[in-house]
Chains A and B, each alone.
Chain A
Amino acid sequence: MFKNIFKFSSLLFLIVVICVTIVTVVFEITTPILQEREIAAVSNSIDIIYPDNQAVNKLDRELADDEPIKEVYEVTLSNDDLAYAYKTSYIGKNGEVVSVIGISNPGVIDGIEYINFGETPGIGDVVTKDPFMSQFVSKGTDEVNIDLVSGATYSSTAVKKSVEASALDFNENYREA
């Protein structure tokens, strides 16, 4: 019996080692490409929200893992004013809803761009359209009031949480009195 256990487990171990090696090699090849693409996607979104920006700097911030805000960028506009772009991520209906939210002084949400958006067509994608978007785009950061969309609770909650967290963070850290 012990001979069998040894034989079976060593064979299975050998196969698993080979498989893991293959997966690791593919992972090592694909990860840098993915990271590059993600950086490009963020800077692309910033360009859409602030078409005439001069420079984009990633700020060194310590952010909690469970917060929607993942990265903060400082955007220098054409008139040398500063704006802030938040990369946020919050769980939606079909995976994470990743978005870039642009906020500038004196506390105005300038726009939102979705990077990873897999929400259901016809249901969850109402959050990319107007009655929902106009609730906060071009509005102030002081009282963000976003009504959820019935039937698209997950998708609209993801956007609501992301926008609220960004507005709060802006008011705390970058708001000029």
Chain B
Amino acid sequence: MGFKRTLKRDKRKFNKMLKTAVIDENPTFVTFLALCPTLGVTNNVANAIGMGISVIFVLAMSNVLVSSISRWVPDEIRIPVYITIIATLVTVLEMVMETYMPNLYTSLGIFLPLIVVNCIILGRAESFASQNKVKDSLFDGITVGIAFSLSLILLATFREILGTGGIAMLNIQIFSSENSMELFVQSTGAFLAFGILAWIISDLRMKQAKKAKKRRA
């Protein structure tokens, strides 16, 4: 009975954290963290999903490790300890991916090792995992990772459809690739697409905030 109740409470907590991470504190479109990989790997949806899963893995593991050892790590050396842990996780992930998923490894390129300095990961370790329990930190890692992945997938879908006329991973071709704007799969297009999406999203958020204010008044 007790186990079931805890499970239910955990589920509710997880959903609440997921909503906060995806909508209220979206790492990409609201707090503008980790923009380097966001702009770099979103030229197609397959890359975005690969990067998203890698970040979920590293973020969840680093949060769990950081929160479980934070009791014994003195404040003075906590940053080097976190960086060592994150770098180890990323190196392991890189070697495993190179061995078992070589295509994804090649297309993620330099952005895979750069997960080490992804500011979302260090940020969550420092601001959440070091002060919270292991289970909450695991939830935080997974939810923030999911939010990051969703943002990447959104941006990549937008860019890939405009840039190539379809989504190669799902075998969808909406219009001919000859009529597409190749600019959008190149790095210039990343900035343009990100700017447009960030504009739309912050506009929606502002409207919603205004509505909520009016309702309260």
Contacts and interface: CB of A to CB of B under 8 A. Distances in A.
Interface string B31-64: 0000000000001000000000000000000000
B99 A8 contact: no
Interface string B62-92: 0000000000111011001100110110011
A48 interface: no
B95 interface: yes
Most-contacted residue by chain B among A26, A37, A95, A116 (CB, 10 A):
A26
A27 B106 CA distance: 18
Contacts of B195: none
Contact of A11 (B73, B85, B87, B98): B73
Nearest to A19: B88
A94 interface: yes
A177 interface: no
A122 B182 CA distance: 8
A26 B92 contact: yes
A123 B107 contact: no
Interface string A138-149: 000000000000
Contact of B99 (A16, A30, A117): A30
B95 A30 contact: yes
B96 interface: yes
Interface in B174-217: 182, 185-186
Interface string B127-150: 000000000000000000000000
B123 interface: no
A64 interface: no
Contacts of B92: 22-23, 26
A63 interface: no
B99 A12 contact: no
A8 B85 CA distance: 16
Contacts of B72: 11
Contacts of A123: 186
Given A30-B95, A33-B99, A8 B109 contact: no
Contacts of A19: 84-85, 87-88
Contacts of A94: 109-110
Given A19-B88, A121-B185, A122-B185, A30 B77 contact: no
24 contacts: A8-B74, A11-B72, A11-B73, A11-B74, A12-B80, A12-B81, A15-B85, A16-B84, A19-B87, A23-B88, A23-B92, A26-B91, A27-B95, A30-B96, A33-B99, A34-B98, A34-B99, A37-B102, A94-B109, A95-B110, A118-B106, A118-B107, A120-B186, A121-B43
Question: Would you list the 10 A-B pairs with minimal beta carbon distance, nearest first?
Answer: A19-B88, A30-B99, A30-B95, A8-B77, A118-B106, A26-B92, A33-B99, A26-B95, A23-B91, A122-B182
Given A15-B85, A30-B96, A94-B110, 10 more contacts: A11-B72, A11-B77, A15-B81, A19-B85, A23-B88, A23-B95, A26-B95, A94-B109, A120-B186, A122-B186
Interface of B: 43, 72-74, 76-77, 80-81, 84-85, 87-88, 91-92, 95-96, 98-99, 102, 106-107, 109-110, 182, 185-186
